Amino acid sequence: MARDADRTRKRLLEAAGVEFSALGIAGARVDRIAEAAGCNKAMIYAYFGNKDQLFDAVFSAHVATFLDEVPFDAPDLPGYAGRLFDRYEDHPDTLRLATWYRLERPRGASLQAVVSSNQGKLEKLEHAQREGVLPGHYTPVELLTLVLSISTAWASMTPELGVNAPADRDRRRHTVVDAVRRLLADGESASAPPVTLSGASS
């Protein structure tokens, strides 16, 4: 009986992941999720409470899977960025879910899975900086934000700009890894004065 319940929950989470990644929280419909999972929609309310709580369960499960498949590696941020790029290329639903989460939950209750993930990364970055493994010209939160942004750059382009993106996946991946490597370069460039669009120092 317990195994049947686990299988039902798994089918609902999988179906809900597809629905939420395509349509977000507001656009998703519990009847479609239940139909795709081969369940009565009453099971959604029984197992998860409501649609918002179902989304939280889906997103938390995606965070756990993400951490297992793409473990954070503070000493090798360029390599980590490359693996992030691969994840977003191979599983575009991951980034779509995160985008809906940001759009529809800007001031909602924090998910513990997300809080724990972020805190763990920041602590590892701070430790790596203290040990001299990483340069300190960015704070841990600045560094994490920049690495995440670079790794999602190709996946978050507008269609108009995206038509100009390199078709070669290896080239796009190399750009991500190289950009993070250059970001970490510690030297004169880190403290250089800002440059204007014309190329002259301000």
CA–CA separation, 131 vs 120, rounded Å?
17
Is 191 a residue whose pLDDT tops 90?
A: no
Topology of the domain covering 70-186: Tetracycline Repressor; domain 2 (1.10.357)
Give residue limits of the domains in the chain. Answer: 7-57, 70-186
**Tens digit of pLDDT for each residue in 115-153?**
999 999 999 999 999 999 999 999 999 999 999 999 999
Please report where in the chains the tokens 């939950």 appear, as a residue: 105
Q: Give the chain's length.
A: 202
Q: Of 65, 58, 48, 60, whose CA–CA distance to 23 is shortest?
A: 58
Per-residue pLDDT, 198: 39
Burial class of residue 80 in the structure, from the number of CB atoms within 10 Å of its CB (0-12 exposed, 13-18 middle, 19+ buried): buried
Q: What is the DSSP letter of 191?
A: G
Is 21 a residue whose pLDDT tops 80?
A: yes
Mean pLDDT of the chain: 88
**Tens digit of pLDDT for each residue in 80-116?**
999 999 999 999 998 999 999 989 887 767 788 889 9
Is 7-57 assigned to CATH 2.20.25.90? no
Lowest mean pLDDT among 46-50, 113-117, 148-152, 191-195: 191-195
Amino acid, res. 87: R
